[in-house]
Structure 1
Amino acid sequence: MSASLNHIKLPDFKLSSGKEQAVHVSYQIFGCQLHTAPIILINHALTGNSSVLDWWSEIVGSGKVIDSNRYTVLSIDIPGNGFDEEVDHLIYNYQDWRLNDVARVFYQVLKELRVCYIHAGIGGSIGGCLLWEMTVTYPELFGTIIPIAADWKATDWIIANCHIQQRLLSNSIQPIEDARQHAMTFYRTAQSLRFKFNREISTDFKVKLWLNYHGKSLKKRFTLPAYKLVNQLLATSNAAQKYDDNILKAIADSEVKIRLIAINSDGLFIAQEDRETFELLRDYRDIKYNEIDSIHGHDAFLIEHRQVNQILKKYLKEVEPTASLKACV
C-alpha cells in the first residue's frame, strides 16, 4: 500500500482560454500494480491532495470498501495545488483556468500512464465536479462515476460563495486564514456547530477558537496562489457548458453508469440539485441516487464514514461484474 509522489510535466499545455503553459502534475498510486487490476480514480476535494490514505483512511486500504488488494487506486493532484511543495510548480495565472482544463490535464496524465479505461471514478466536492467534466469530455473513459457532495455545474449559490472567497483572498490582511474560516461556515451547518460546541467557552467561545485553528492549519499547508486557483476552478465548473447547460445532451455519447451521493444537510452543493439531476436522467441513463443523513453539512462525506462505506459498498458491488482491464489501442 505504500506510495510515493510521482511527477509528470506537460510542457506546452493549451488552456481553453488559448494560453499555453508548462504544467507540472503530481500523482500517487496505491494498491495493486498499475495494469494488473481494475482502476479506481479518486479525485480529491478543494484543499485536498493525492494522499487519500491520510484523509480517507476509513474508506481506502487493505480490506476497506475501496480495497487495495483488489483495485489499483490512482489519485492525481489538481495542478498548482502545491502539494509537491515546489514553488515553481504553482500556477499564478489562475483566471486563465477553468475546471475543464484540469479534466484535460488529468486525461494527459492518464495517457502518459497508458490508462485508457477507469473502472470507477470517485470524487468528493470539486473532485466530483471534475468527474462530470471528464465524463463529458472523454465519454468512454469511465465505467462508473460516483460524485459525492458534488454537481455537474456551479450554481448561483456556489458562484456567490466563490466570489466572497475571492474577495477575501485578494483583499484580506490574512487571506488564507480568513477565507478558510468563511469556508468552514458553509462546509458545516448551524446544527453541527451547536452539536459540537453548544456555546462553550474556554479562553473564548470554542467555535471561534475552532475557526481560528482551521485558518492557521490551512495556512501551514496551502499557498495563496493555490487557494485562488482552486476557488476559480470551483466557480467555473460546468460540464454542460458546450451543450446549452443540458447535461442529458452533454453525456449523450457516454454509456457511463452514474451513482450520485448527496448530503441532506449540505449547504454548499445542495442535495436538491442532485435530486433534480437524478429525475432528469433516470429515464435515459443507468443512474442511482443516495443521500447521506447528517447534521454536519458538506463535510459529512469526510465524517459519516459508516454511511459512506455502506453506500460505496453497494455501488461498487453493483458494477463489479463489469470490472475489467482494457489495453490502450
Structure 2
Amino acid sequence: MTVDHETVSLGAFEFQCGETIPDLELAYETYGEFEGDNAVLVCHALTGSAHVASQGRFEDSDQAYAWWDDIVGPGKAIDTTEYFVVCVNVPGSCYGSSGPPSPNPETGEPYGPEFPPVTVADWTEAQRTLLDELGVPHLYAVVGGSVGGMNVLEWAKRHPDHVEKIVPIAAAGRLDSQCLALDGIARRAITTDPNWNGGDYYDGDHPDEGLALARELGHVMYFSKSSMDRRFGRRAATREAERAFPVDPAGRFFPYRDVESYLDYNASKFVERFDANSYLYLTRAMDNYDLASGFESDADALAAFDGDALVMSFTGDWHFTTQQSEALADALRETDTDVAHHVVDSDYGHDAFLVEPDSVGPPVSDFLAEGIGGNAVSDTVEVETEESDFAPVHNSLFSQ
C-alpha cells in the first residue's frame, strides 16, 4: 500500500467570514492508489488529525495517534487496497494545517487570535482545493464522525455533483442547546485562565489548566451515564494516582475518585499535544454549523445531492442522538435520496464510533461496496422524536 503524508501550500485563501490569509497550508495523508473513481475522503472529528491510520503516522510525530486504524487500512472497512483514502487536517487546527499557532508569513509570529474565524464550510472548501491540487475531481464517498459528519453533510450541500456516497456517523445538522451550553462553558474555562492573555500566549506560559478543564468537560460529553457507572463507579483512585489540580482543604478528607483521576490524566496528556486557541476555533466552527443555513430546510439544503447516504447513530449517544440522526435521514428521504439510518445498540456514548469498530466497520464496508442494499446495512426508521429506548434524554447524564 502506498502512503503519503505531506503539507501543501495552496496560496491565498478567503474564509467564509471574508478575511484572507496569504498562504493556506494543509497537512494531509493519502493511502492506497488513485484509479480515477475510487477516492474516499475521511473527515476527522474535533481534535483529530490527518493521521487516520497507523500506516501513515510519522515515526517522530507528537500529533494525534491513528484515530481510526481499525476502520481504515488494507482489508479493513475502508479498504486501502480498493480505495484511495484522503484525510486532511482542517484549517484552524494545530496538527500541521494553518491555524492560530501557525506562523503568519507576513510577520513570522504565530497568528494567535488574528487567525480568521473558521467554519465547517471553510473546511469543505479547503478540502476541495486540496483535492484539485491532487488531481481528484470526484469523490466516491465522504465519511466522517461527529463534527466530521457535519463536514460530510457540507460536502453534499456545497458539492453535490462531486460525491457519490455520504456517511455521516454520530452527527446531526446542528448542535442542540445543551451541547452549545457545555461548549460555551468549556471555552470560558480557557479564556478565564490567567495565562490565556487574550490568545497571545505563545511566548509565555500556555493556558494549560483552562484547556485541561475544557477537555475534561468534553470528555464527559462523550460517555453515556451507564458507561461511566460501569467503568468507574464510585471507586477511589489508587494510592499512586496524583492529583492534577490543587485540592481544596476539605478535599483532603475525601477520596480522589477513579473517574476524577481518569479525566485528569487524559486532560494532562491532551494539553501536551493540542493548542488552546485551536480548541476555541474548532468548537466555534462546530457550534455555528447549521445544515439549513441559506436554505429553507435541511431537505432543501440537500436537494441537489442525488447519491446514496448511510446515516449511523448510537443508542447511548446524547451528544448527537439517534433522534437527530433520524431527522437527518428524514430530510434525505424527502429528497428521494437512497438512504439508510443504521442504529447501533451501544451504551458507550458518543465515542462509540471510534472505539467499537466491530459495530461500525461492517455497515460502512457493505455500504461502500453495495449501497444501502449491503447485507450489514439496516434501516431503522422507528425512532421516536421524544424520549425513547434508543437514546436517553440528555439530562440522564446529570440526573441524581
Question: What's the TM-score once normalised by structure 1's chain length?
Answer: 0.91
Output the CA distance in 2 between the equivalents of 1:197 and 1:235.
30
2:339 to 263, 284, 287: 287
The alpha carbon displacement at 1:302 in A equals 1.0
Q: Provide the residue aligned with 2:126 in structure 1.
A: 105
TM alignment of 1:75-224, pairs within 5 A: 75-84=87-96, 87-88=102-103, 92-93=113-114, 96-172=117-193, 174-201=209-236, 202-203=238-239, 204-224=256-276
For the 8 Å contact 1:94–1:228, the answer to whether it is kept is: no
Q: For the structure 1 residues 143 and 37, does the alpha-carbon distance in structure 2 shift closer, same or farther, using more than 3 Å as the test?
A: closer
Output the CA distance in 2 between the equivalents of 1:297 and 1:188.
4
Output the CA distance in 2 between the equivalents of 1:94 and 1:289.
38
For the 8 Å contact 1:144–1:257, the answer to whether it is kept is: yes
Q: Deviations over 1:91-131 (max 9, x none)?
A: 63466322211111111111111211111111011111011
Identity %: 25
Higher helix share: 1
Residue identity opposite 1:273 in structure 2:
Q
Q: For the structure 1 residues 300 and 88, does the alpha-carbon distance in structure 2 shift closer, same or farther, using more than 3 Å as the test?
A: same
Q: Provide the residue aligned with 1:311 in structure 2.
A: 363
Q: For the structure 1 residues 306 and 102, does the alpha-carbon distance in structure 2 shift closer, same or farther, using more than 3 Å as the test?
A: same
Output the CA distance in 1 between the equivalents of 2:337 and 2:95.
37
Q: Provide the residue aligned with 1:23 in structure 2.
A: 24
Q: Provide the residue aligned with 2:73 in structure 1.
A: 61
Q: Deviations over 1:279-298 (max 9, x none)?
A: 34325221110112111110
Output the CA distance in 1 between the equivalents of 2:177 and 2:48.
24
The alpha carbon displacement at 1:37 in A equals 5.8
The alpha carbon displacement at 1:161 in A equals 2.3
The alpha carbon displacement at 1:6 in A equals 1.1
Runs of 5+ unmatched residues, structure 2: 54-65, 105-109, 195-208, 240-255, 374-400
Q: Provide the residue aligned with 1:327 in structure 2.
A: none
Q: Provide the residue aligned with 2:377 in structure 1.
A: none
The alpha carbon displacement at 1:156 in A equals 2.4
For the 8 Å contact 1:149–1:301, the answer to whether it is kept is: yes
For the 8 Å contact 1:24–1:80, the answer to whether it is kept is: no
The alpha carbon displacement at 1:320 in A equals 10
Residue identity opposite 2:212 in structure 1:
E
Of 280-289 and 62-71, more deviation after overlay is shown by 280-289
Q: Deviations over 1:128-168 (max 9, x none)?
A: 10111122111111100001101122332332222122212
For the 8 Å contact 1:260–1:290, the answer to whether it is kept is: yes
Output the CA distance in 1 between the equivalents of 2:265 and 2:283.
21
Which structure has the larger Rg? 2
For the 8 Å contact 1:95–1:229, the answer to whether it is kept is: no
For the 8 Å contact 2:91–2:118, the answer to whether it is kept is: no
For the 8 Å contact 1:148–1:301, the answer to whether it is kept is: yes
The alpha carbon displacement at 1:5 in A equals 2.5
Match status 1:242 vs 2:294: yes
Match status 1:299 vs 2:311: no
Q: Deviations over 1:25-68 (max 9, x none)?
A: 11000122x34560111111100111111111111111111111
Residue identity opposite 1:29 in structure 2:
T
Output the CA distance in 2 between the equivalents of 1:131 and 1:138.
10
The alpha carbon displacement at 1:239 in A equals 2.5
Output the CA distance in 2 between the equivalents of 1:145 and 1:94.
30
Q: Provide the residue aligned with 2:302 in structure 1.
A: 251
Output the CA distance in 1 between the equivalents of 2:37 and 2:301.
30
Residue identity opposite 2:345 in structure 1:
D
Of 77-86 and 101-110, more deviation after overlay is shown by 77-86
For the 8 Å contact 1:149–1:263, the answer to whether it is kept is: yes
Q: For the structure 1 residues 46 and 313, does the alpha-carbon distance in structure 2 shift closer, same or farther, using more than 3 Å as the test?
A: same
Query: Of the two structures, which has the highest relative contact order with CA contacts closer than 8 Å and spacing of 6 or more?
Result: 1
For the 8 Å contact 1:94–1:229, the answer to whether it is kept is: no
Q: Provide the residue aligned with 1:266 in structure 2.
A: 317
